[in-house]
Structure formats: C-alpha cells, structure tokens
Structure 1
C-alpha cells in the first residue's frame, strides 16, 4: 500500500482522461471500462456476496459514471476511487433490507494472503486453514468495516483514495480499518477455537462389532432378577 500521507500523483494522462470523459468521449470511457470493470465487479461481489448482484452493481456503476460524467473533477489522480465509491453506494442499495450476511467468502476461492495480516499469524496455523476461517467470519463485520477492508486490502486503495471513494475523512478510514483488522483477527481466533473444540468432540472410540453391540443390548434388556440369578 502506498504512503497514506501522500496524495496520489497526478499525471497529464489522467488529467487528459478526465477531461475527455467529461466531454463525453466514448472511446475514453470505453478505455476506462476496460481498465476498471474487473476491479469494480470484484469489489461489488465482496460487498454483496452474489455474482448476479455484482454484475448489476457493475453495470449500474458505469451507467451512472457516464450519466454523471460532467460532475467529474477535471483534475485529479486515478479514477479508480471514483468508480469504487459509486460501486460501494450501489452495493449498499442492492443489499439494503435483505439481511444478507456476507458468507460468500466461505463459498469462493481464498483471496490472496494480505501481507500484514499473514505476518502476524505466520507459524501459528496453516495459512489455508486460517484463511478459511477469515472467509467464514468476514460477514460478521460491520458494513463500514467490510467496506474499508474491501477498498484498502483487496482493491489496493491507500487511505486517501479510500476516503475519496467513501466520502469520509482520512482519519475515519484509518480508525475503521484499524477496528476492522482487530475485530477480524478476534473473530478468526474464535472461529479457530470453535473448530478445534468441535474436532476434539468428534474424536470417538472405534465402534463395537455388531455382535458385541447386540449382546450388550440383550443383556441390558434382561430383568435384574434374572441377571442376578445367572451370575451365581
């Protein structure tokens, strides 16, 4: 992740792209789509947990980007925060009222390991097992926590870009990300402990052979008096 205290570098190419899109240049907008469609789609999927909904969010994002192109600032850096900010709002609307818990991470391939998170846990448990636990508890985070993780960790935005995308101060992004990482780590540890306890409880002695089981059942069914007389 780049230095969060430094504003993204502005290039003449980015400024030119912004100007062309503002002016309604379809070729420039097509190039924008080609460059960021996959990033917008992946971001939408992480926030909605549904492939078809993610496709709708992506389509609506670029449709709104074209419709509102004249509001785009003529100067600035990468257009990725602008698009992901719109996608975040679209994803909120798509999931509002559905009560969807983002359990999608348990149903999809593991995301690439995050360096700062993996380093903290290296050597304690197998990475694949820990990542599986992360996927299972990710949906239990608050919406704001999921959003900053999706933007800063998986989409690679720095604090400034994430703040631009969410329309909040940089300090808010910092605090949310810190809380999200801490809570995700705690929930992950809890999940791993639950799995260890479950694995322990599932360890049972080998079952008896059929004849032995039937013999014991018949013995248990005999009247107490008969058992006592037979034991003399």
Structure 2
C-alpha cells in the first residue's frame, strides 16, 4: 500500500518535503511578507519554516494529507521568533551612544503590494492588536485557513479562534477608519532598490539540498 504524504514525511522521505514545499512555499511567503513588509525577511521565513518542518517531521501526528495547518503553525512560530529577535536588535541599537536614523518605508511597501488605502491603513493599525489577535487575523484572513485549521495551527480551541478573529476585525475596522480620516501626509515615492519580488525562492529551495 502506498504511504500517504504525511507518513512519508514522518519517515524522512526528502521527496515528500519537496512536495510540501512546492505546495505551500508561495503561501508561506505571502503570509510572511504581509506580516513583515520585507521581501528578504519573508524569504528567510520560508527557508526557516521548511527547515523546521524537516527537523520536526518525527513529531507530525497522524491525520489526513492536509498539512497546511501544520506548516502555518511552524511559520507562525518562526515569525514569533523573528519578532523577538527584531525587538532585541532594536533594544541593542537604542543602547548605542551614536546611532543613525533609518527611514521606515514599511507602510509604503505594504501600500504598493496591497494596492489600496484601506488595506494599507489596516496594515498600519495591525500592530495595535494583541499578538494572539494578529496571528488569528493573518491565518484566517490573509492565508485563508478555516477556523478548525487555524485552531490546529495555533494549538487553541476553535471557539478561541472565532472570538479572537471577531475582536481583531472589530478593532482593525475602528483603527483603520481613524487612520483614513486623519489628514493625509505627503510622501516621497520610495526609490527603486532593484530587488525582485519573490526572487529569493531559489535560495529557499536550496534547503532541500541541505537535507540530503
């Protein structure tokens, strides 16, 4: 009898990892990009997510072949660690006697990607939510996971996902409305960097070579 993709991955089949990567890498990248508003950082999250998936393969529980909740649970943990590392870096930089101010073009970048003032306002308002609400919003709204899959990814009951998402939507709606009604600020267009969107997938794919 042919083994399922889940069983093959648990058994250490590198081909199964490649299939999971092909099926979900683009969605993980989009999830990370919307969260971080940084193309290079999003590509790093893709690589780390599938390296972690390979490392944790033996802990993958029995179930059907829908591995999306498991993959996005790992991606969410990677993003949490990325956020903690960024906070530590900012704290270290703040302790320096002399530091150079670096302009933050995150809002401009997200506005270009989402191509809408309302989505850009929501993206700016998102950090005001609790982390648990942000994670549920990203998984259900951005990634498109249903309540059960998001609950599996986060390790919480389905009812918790429902209540967190409801609170997140209500708060985001109010915060985004406030953003849109504030006087518009003139912004210079961001200079071209020559960076190609999603161009680092070849680097991310190299993780398959690392497991061989």
Same fold, TM exceeding 0.5?
A: yes
The equivalent position to 1:52 in structure 2, one of 16, 37, 40, is: 40
The equivalent position to 1:38 in structure 2, one of 9, 26, 45, is: 26
The one of the two structures with greater contact order (alpha-carbon pairs below 8 A, sep at least 6) is 2
The equivalent position to 1:177 in structure 2, one of 148, 158, 165, is: 165
How does 1:3-152 map onto structure 2 within 5 Å? 16-96=4-84, 98-99=86-87, 104=106, 106-108=108-110, 109-111=112-114, 128-152=116-140
Post-superposition Cα deviations, 1:66-85, rounded to whole Å, max 9, x if no partner, equal 12211112323510110110
Distance 1:92 1:170 in 2: 21
Q: 1:223: which partner in 2?
A: none
Cα displacement (A) at 1:132: 3.2
Post-superposition Cα deviations, 1:92-141, rounded to whole Å, max 9, x if no partner, equal 111115348x98454223448xxxxxxxxxxxxxxx33233223322332
Q: 1:204: which partner in 2?
A: none
Q: Which has the larger radius of gyration?
A: 1
Say if 1:181 and 1:70 are closer, same or farther in 2 by CA, change over 3 A. Answer: same
In the superposition, the TM-score normalised over structure 1's length comes to: 0.65
Distance 1:132 1:47 in 2: 12
Unaligned segments of structure 2, at least 5 residues: 91-103, 187-212
The equivalent position to 2:174 in structure 1, one of 169, 181, 186, is: 186
What RMSD, in angstroms, separates the aligned Cα atoms of the two structures?
Answer: 2.7
Give the conservation status (yes or no) of the 8 Å contact 1:103–1:136.
no
Give the conservation status (yes or no) of the 8 Å contact 1:152–1:158.
yes
Distance 1:52 1:129 in 2: 24
Give the conservation status (yes or no) of the 8 Å contact 2:5–2:65.
no
In the superposition, the TM-score normalised over structure 2's length comes to: 0.71
> Which portions of structure 1, spanning 4 or more consecutive aligned residues, are displaced by more than 4 angstroms?
none
Cα displacement (A) at 1:44: 2.0
Unaligned segments of structure 1, at least 5 residues: 1-12, 113-127, 200-232
Q: Does 1:161 align with 2:149?
A: yes
